[in-house]
Amino acid sequence: MRVVLQNLTKIFPSRNKKSNEEVVAVNDFTFEIPDGKLIGLLGPSGCGKSTTLYMISGLQKPTSGQILFGDEDVTDLPTEARGIGLVFQNYALYPHMTVKQNILFPLQNLKGADKLSKEEMMERAYNAAKLVQIEDLLDRKPSEMSGGQQQRVAIARALVKMPRVLLLDEPLSNLDARLRLQTREEIRRIQRETGITTIFVTHDQEEAMSISDMIVVMKLGVVQQIGAPQDVYDDPANLFVAKFLGTPPINVFEGTVRGEKLYLAEDCVMNVPGVADQDVFVGIRPEGFEVNPNGAMRCSLNNVEVMGRDASVVSEHPASVNPVVRSIIDSDIRLDLSNKNVSFSLKAHKVFLFNKDTEERIRFEVR
Ligand code: ADP
Ligand code: MG
């Protein structure tokens, strides 16, 4: 099911009676979620992810704008009539019911033409349980299961009504690191198998990048950039997006462009054809550095952390905004730590310039 958001806005009135400051939680969202895709809504806490999801689900009413499922305007439809499945961070299972009863629950309230026979309900519940691989745990109570298993039950319960759209709000946040990794792969598999259009909310860029067909990066209720994860990583629209994606994060410098050349402090590090003279922010991805004795970027070397295939070089540079510069190089390249300095040349396509005031991207031709 294709989902379209049109100028979707949510304004909360001020909580504080004295001030009249309202919160624009979601500001004029317009985008389309293609049928059968998994979309990651990504941004820091408070940027309006949950509010967006709740409006799509019908739990919250937009201040203005429309929501379409396919060609149908669902903006004023109640939640029950939208055909959605919802999964939250805290699995919210009924503690006194077994897994089977929890999964069956949404089917038991179906009315009229949607009403199912007992056998049909059982079959649906079993299939949903099988999909999330808990079919052997149907008689347990939630308290007898791990967090990961409980979240699977919650996903099965959301799937059992065969929703048109599956909405997941930070579903992995309560799981430990290993389970998070495993469960996110599971969600991806289930999404592929069912082909249900899925909207996945997270503040964790790695999580969103790893499973989404498309990510929507948000900040303070405003969409910053939409695209395939790798495209957004490779071509960030502004400094916020550049900083939000990537581990280790992008290195940020204060630089100057003079005569189509980029200077970081005294170092003339690169040609930037077509860029006017100005002060800029410079973002360099950790993989954008190449150790090169003749490289123009001269750093003082702090440490080298070898991590199997890669080595992380920790150094300092006078133009760096952050205390240290982190670069990732091939671990075969041995750096002599008794040497206090290291020089790098830069890979031009891993270097991004941003306007010092607006923090919007300034593009140059990469030759
Ligand atoms: P996220 O899920 O990205 O962390 P939310 O959508 O929960 O963000 O919140 C977005 C903004 O809206 C925040 O500033 C939050 O404080 C505010 N907000 C959320 N729900 C309400 C509410 N019911 N009343 C007032 N303000 C709210
Ligand atoms: Mg939230």
Query: Residue 303 in 3-state DSSP?
Result: strand
Res. 71: pLDDT tops 80: yes
Residue 334 CB contacts under 8 Å (≥ 6 apart), including other chains: none
Confidence of residue 307 (pLDDT cuts 50, 70, 90): confident
Among protein residues, the one with the nearest Cα to ligand 1's atom 15 is: 46
Pairwise CA distance, residues 198 & 184, whole Å: 13
pLDDT of residue 216: 98
Pairwise CA distance, residues 282 & 262, whole Å: 9
In angstroms, what is the span from residue 51 Cα to ligand 2's centroid? 7
CB 16 less than 6 A from any atom of ligand 1? no
Among protein residues, the one with the nearest Cα to ligand 1's atom 25 is: 12
Instruction: Write out the two tokens for 161.
Output: 């009504």
Among protein residues, the one with the nearest Cα to ligand 1's atom 17 is: 25
Position in ligand 1 atom list of the atom nearest CA 169: 2
Q: How many C-alpha atoms does 41 have within 13 Å on its Cβ side?
A: 30
Instruction: Write out the two tokens for 243.
Output: 């900083």
Residue 82 CB contacts under 8 Å (≥ 6 apart), including other chains: 57, 58, 69, 74, 164, 165
Res. 128: pLDDT tops 80: yes
pLDDT of residue 367: 74
Among protein residues, the one with the nearest Cα to ligand 1's atom 26 is: 12
Among protein residues, the one with the nearest Cα to ligand 1's atom 7 is: 50
> How is 42-83 classified by DSSP, letter by letter?
E-STTSSHHHHHHHHHTSS--SEEEEEETTEE-TTS-GGGT-
Contact of 250 with 351, CB cutoff 8 Å: no
In angstroms, what is the span from residue 169 Cα to ligand 2's centroid? 7
Pairwise CA distance, residues 192 & 318, whole Å: 48
- 60 closest CA partner among 86, 78, 42, 80: 78
Query: Residue 161 in 3-state DSSP?
Result: coil
pTM over cut 0.85:
yes
pLDDT of residue 337: 81
pLDDT tens for 245-298 read 999 999 999 999 999 999 999 999 999 999 999 999 999 999 999 999 999 999
Query: Residue 159 in 3-state DSSP?
Result: helix
pLDDT tens for 10-66 read 999 887 777 778 999 999 999 999 999 999 999 999 999 999 999 999 999 999 999
Of the two residues 17 and 140, the one the predictor is more confident about is 140
In angstroms, what is the span from residue 200 Cα to ligand 1's centroid? 17
Instruction: Write out the two tokens for 234.
Output: 């490779």
Position in ligand 1 atom list of the atom nearest CA 44: 3
Contact of 289 with 313, CB cutoff 8 Å: yes
CB 51 less than 6 A from any atom of ligand 1? yes
Among protein residues, the one with the nearest Cα to ligand 1's atom 20 is: 51
CB 46 less than 6 A from any atom of ligand 1? yes
Confidence of residue 110 (pLDDT cuts 50, 70, 90): confident
What are the C-alpha distances in Å from 244 to residues 33, 59, 214, 267, 362? 22, 29, 16, 27, 18
- 79 closest CA partner among 102, 96, 56: 56
pLDDT tens for 205-215 read 999 999 999 99
Position in ligand 1 atom list of the atom nearest CA 51: 6
For residues 99-120, average pLDDT: 88
Rounded to the nearest integer, the mean pLDDT of the chain is: 93
Report the 10 Å Cβ neighbour count for 60: 18
Pairwise CA distance, residues 163 & 354, whole Å: 42
In angstroms, what is the span from residue 50 Cα to ligand 1's centroid? 7
